Amino acid sequence: MSFACQRDSYQTQLSSEVVSCSPVQLKVTRQKQTITGHEVVCQDSVLFPEGGGQNSDQGQLNGWPVLQVSRKGLQAVHFVADSPGFSVGEVVQQEVDWTRRFDHMQQHTGQHLISALFESQLEINTTSWWMAENNGDKVGVSYIELDQPNITKEQLQQIEDQCNQAIREHLDVRVHVYEDAHDPALTVAHTRGLPDDLAGPVRVVNIGSLDSNMCCGTHVKNLSELQAIKLLSVDKGKKSKSLLNFVVGNRVLKYLNNGFQREQALTQILKGGIDDHIDLVGKYVKNVKIAQKTLQNVLKELAVMEANVINQQNDRKFVLVHKKDGDSDYMNTFLHEMINKDLFVCIAVGDETQGPCQLAIVGQEDIVQDLGPRLIKILGGKGGGKGHRINGRIPSFKSWPNVVKEVEAYFSD
């Protein structure tokens, strides 16, 4: 059998009888939480269950939120969150989140069109595809896995132009259901991503004369409803394949709007128009590199000066240095300039807000190996070493005062 959502992708409501209802818990990876609810199976479903590369619908069942729909054999299983449950035989009202449904229809039909043109025009086959989810203002960018290691910019532009030409020609998209899976007519249809346990009739989606493809998903009736297709980029895939990133329909407009918002923000930051952004960023990057190099040289000079001051203090038993603006060059320069190699030195550099900081402990071997690990433990870090030096990485300096106390107590004995 086919579901109501497959018989009519534009149907948004359906009354159907409950066949089973079981309490379950759903783990939501994105929110890192577990949601309590019920798995509800009805005689029919207007909500599409995940399959064929297409994500599931969401919606409501008697007003309770349906967060996920999965397919088990010939049944659509609805995960209904926070509901009190439903009685077998009870007639419930299903309602689709139409905004999500239509977005999925645009992406799925767009994928069929892109794959068909890559195959017919460039003889590059599609091996699989993945539909991304929108996340707030962030546009979901889906991808098609193509059986070709390299896709040129010229090929990308050619297929994009032909996709949008097909949209302007407003070709019809028709669905035909074959009750017999061995119908000879199916030999001309392709299959991409059909579930392995598919049972029942076979649906074939036809885009004019461009494509005939076996598919269980929901689709638009006419290519004009896609509005536009944008092929964004190509990433390297596995086993000599390519991943083609794309957006269709309303996602193109959202992607364009997000880009425009970023351009406006950059215009304010860079104090220059859109056409000057690249040049201005290039100049800023160059200036930052010069400033970083200058700072690095200054820090080395400072390390030499500070080490020389300590070298003149012959009565010192230990040295503790915490330089937030320092780096590994500062630390190594400081240690290199120290004349008394047996003097106990604990030096830490880095800004904890930017990530783990570096630590070095040097001096007499017995003291370094005895006191060093204790100091690293106090700071909550990790590290080790042999002989006269121990290196470590620490997450923060909030316990640095305790390090000072520990060292002072150790050398006061």
Number of C-beta neighbours around residue 192 at 10 A: 19
Scored b (16 or more CB within 10 A) or e, 289-318 reads eeeeeeeeeebbebbeebbeebeeeeeeeb
Crossing angle (nearest 10°) for helices 400-412 and 365-378: 150
Lowest mean pLDDT among 60-74, 84-98, 191-205: 191-205
Q: What is the mean pLDDT of residues 163-170?
A: 97
Instruction: Give the pLDDT score at 271.
Output: 92
Q: What is the length of the chain?
A: 413
Helix, strand, coil percentages, rounded to 5, for the chain? 35, 30, 30
Top-confidence residue, 340 or 26: 340
Instruction: Give the pLDDT score at 193.
Output: 47
Answer whether residue 197 shows pLDDT above 60.
no
The whole-model pTM stands at: 0.78
Query: Which amino acid would we find at residue 347?
Result: I
Phi and psi torsions of 375, nearest 5°: -70, -40
CA-to-CA dists, residue 309 to 4, 16, 222, 250, 319, angstroms? 83, 85, 80, 66, 12
Instruction: Give the pLDDT score at 203.
Output: 86
Q: Which residues pair with 322 in a beta bridge?
A: 348
Answer whether residue 146 shows pLDDT above 50.
yes
Top-confidence residue, 200 or 113: 113
Cα gap 214→189, rounded to integer Å: 6
Answer whether residue 13 shows pLDDT above 90.
yes
Instruction: Give the pLDDT score at 195.
Output: 54
Phi and psi torsions of 139, nearest 5°: -80, 130
Q: Which residues pair with 323 in a beta bridge?
A: 349
Cα gap 62→64, rounded to integer Å: 6
Residues 6+ apart with CB under 8 A from 49: 3, 56, 57, 69, 70, 71, 76, 77
Lowest mean pLDDT among 85-89, 111-115, 149-153, 397-401: 397-401
Q: What is the mean pLDDT of residues 140-157?
A: 96
Q: Which residues pair with 11 in a beta bridge?
A: none
Question: In this structure, what is the dihedral angle of CA atoms 292, 295, 300, 302, given to the nearest 10 degrees?
Answer: -160
244 contacts 234 by C-beta, under 8 angstroms: yes
Answer whether residue 143 shows pLDDT above 70.
yes
For the stretch 330-375, pLDDT in tens is: 999 999 999 999 999 999 998 877 778 999 999 999 999 999 999 9
The dihedral region occupied by 88, where left means phi > 0, alpha psi between -120 and 50, and beta the remainder, is beta
Q: Which residues pair with 14 in a beta bridge?
A: 94
Confidence of residue 180 (pLDDT cuts 50, 70, 90): low
Instruction: Give the pLDDT score at 196.
Output: 56
Q: Spell out the alpha helix ranges (H) of 89-135.
A: 98-122
Q: What is the mean pLDDT of residues 125-141?
A: 95
**Closest of 217, 200, 190, 189 to residue 51, by C-alpha:** 217
Instruction: Give the pLDDT score at 52.
Output: 84
Cα gap 238→86, rounded to integer Å: 45
Confidence of residue 187 (pLDDT cuts 50, 70, 90): low
